[in-house]
């Protein structure tokens, strides 16, 4: 089982409403894209963040910064606007290549997910139009390249 499958399987077990975004989502939609970390978004509720934190900790991942789900939930605006924090990072101290980011400046909404099967795991991925819109809002150079690749896939 790949790290992506393990993460998604554990999030599914914890009943987290989430979707994979970032490089993995671009690749799962069919564009050539390399990435190391797994990025995902959740429905913005304290329960979802707490369950996601619990799932990641069960996999041996720890938060890179000394905060918990309740902190991220209650101080989201402060973290984004004054600390430039857009992702809550978790990593495996025994294997630093295993990294996961919970994106906090984007909220998952109904109708944004496309379920994909990878191995024996169902992986919810942000649908291509929502992913393009999310990346357009970011405006980073890599995101603009991803938009170009995703739009070519749509044609």
Q: Are 69 and 16 in contact (CB under 8 A)?
A: no
Tens digits of residue pLDDT in 92-122: 999 999 999 999 999 999 999 999 999 889 9
Q: Does domain 3-144 have CATH number 1.10.3720.10?
A: no
Residue 75, classified by CB atoms within 10 Å of its CB into exposed (0-12), middle (13-18) or buried (19+), is middle
**3-state DSSP call for residue 101?**
strand
Phi, psi of 140 (to 5 degrees): -65, 155
pLDDT tier, 32 (very low <50, low <70, confident <90, very high otherwise): confident
Q: Which residues contact 82 (CB under 8 A, 6 or more apart)?
A: none
CA distance 147 to 144: 5
């Amino acid at each position: 089982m790949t790290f992506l499958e393990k993460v998604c399987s554990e999030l599914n077990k914890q009943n987290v409403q989430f979707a994979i975004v970032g490089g993995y989502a671009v690749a799962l939609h069919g564009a050539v894209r390399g990435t190391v970390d797994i990025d995902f978004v959740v429905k913005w509720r304290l329960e979802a963040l707490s369950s996601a934190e619990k799932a990641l900790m069960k996999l041996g991942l720890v938060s890179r910064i000394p905060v918990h789900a309740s902190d991220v939930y209650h101080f989201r605006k402060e973290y984004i606007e004054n600390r430039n924090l857009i992702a809550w990072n978790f990593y495996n101290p025994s294997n630093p290549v295993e990294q996961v980011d919970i994106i906090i400046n984007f909220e998952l909404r109904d109708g944004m997910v496309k379920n994909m099967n990878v191995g024996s795991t169902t992986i919810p991925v942000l649908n291509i139009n929502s992913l393009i819109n999310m990346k357009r809002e970011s405006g980073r150079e890599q995101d603009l390249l991803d938009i170009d690749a995703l739009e070519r896939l749509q044609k």
